[in-house]
Amino acid sequence: MSFPMERMRRLRRTPALRRWVAETRLSRHSLVQPLFITEGSGVERPIPSLPGQSQLSFDRAAERARRVFDSGVPAVLLFGIPAEKDARGSSADDPDGVVAEAVRAIRRATPEMIIIGDVCLCEFTDHGHCGVLTDPDARGERTVDNDATLERLASEALVLAEAGCDVVAPSAMADGQVEAIRDALDMAGLEEVSILSYSAKYASSFYGPFREAAESEPAFGDRRAYQMDPSNAREALREAELDLEEGADIIMVKPGLPYLDVISRLRDELDAPIAAYHVSGEYAMLQAAAERGWIDGDRALYESLQCLHRAGAEILITYGAERAAALIDGGGPP
């Protein structure tokens, strides 16, 4: 059936009409604000490449989380920056470690907050890779030891869950990580803790500001041997299906905007909640262009999140979560 052109334009005439017939409606209830937790107290260290974001000590993180919740954002995602690092990432599963301490502080300050703990070793290892490394081979090369890494990830997830996380989010892209974590949680009587798996985490060039913020740049090589190749989309479906079979409750695509096709494909094929991570490089580009007056930062942020949601993501992780909540409550950018 064809429609006269003027009929299409009639419903675009005013902001109220456009909102009235909108197919995609953002909700602040979908938003997640990442936080970077560092050692000490009273620490709030700005991150140059992520305007508006800081490395926070556990007490400041609790204060920030309260403000995030009061803005209408229901969830935070925590990343740790320990004072001491070693080859095994020993502080990742320290019950008194930097993230566990922050989880407890946030839970005391804001009991209603959804607290998500990232489960990976890259922020805790002195080599910056996402797992335990093998011994050098005949060529002197080292790779991530998958089985040894699974033990460390399961232990880290257990500590975060016991500290009070509602959700643990394995991001190491280790084969079998979801099953190992689900088994550990269930055996500890923590069946109610959910798993948000970074199922389709691409070896992307958009992670630079995050690596500065989390101090997790690899000391050698890169992560392409265990993160996904940006050329592949069908592989993302296989990864997500495996994670769901192993016990994941939510699957994630990271980065967000460059992989809208992947989000859409997963939404068409799978009946599970999907999260999209609007990553540090995406956010930093918008901020840099807005600071120079090249784009309207609010409109660009809002549009980016609309696109992620339209593609099929119910959960939107973004460094602009608080600003997005304010825009949503105001009916969108002017």
Q: Which residues are catalytic?
A: 201, 254
The three-state secondary structure class of 318 is strand
Distances in whole angstroms, Cα of residue 5 to Cα of each of 8, 13, 124, 298: 5, 13, 58, 30
Q: Is the dihedral of CA 176, 269, 234, 314 positive or negative?
A: negative
| 240, containing H or E segment | helix 234-246
**In terms of DSSP H, where are the helices of 275-319?**
280-291, 297-311
Q: Which two tokens stand for residue 52?
A: 């508006």
Residue 134 amino acid letter: T
d(CA 84, CA 126): 8
Rounded Cα distance between 56 and 264, Å, is 35
Work out the angle at residue 198's Cα, subtended by the Cα atoms of residues 266 and 62, and round it to the nearest 5 degrees. Answer: 125
Distances (CA, A) of 288 to 58, 132, 154, 294, 325: 29, 36, 38, 9, 21
Three-class SS of residue 271?
Answer: coil
With beta carbons less than 8 A apart as the criterion, state whether 258 and 295 touch.
no
Residue 36 contacts residue 55 (beta carbons within 8 Å): yes
CA distance 150 to 40: 29
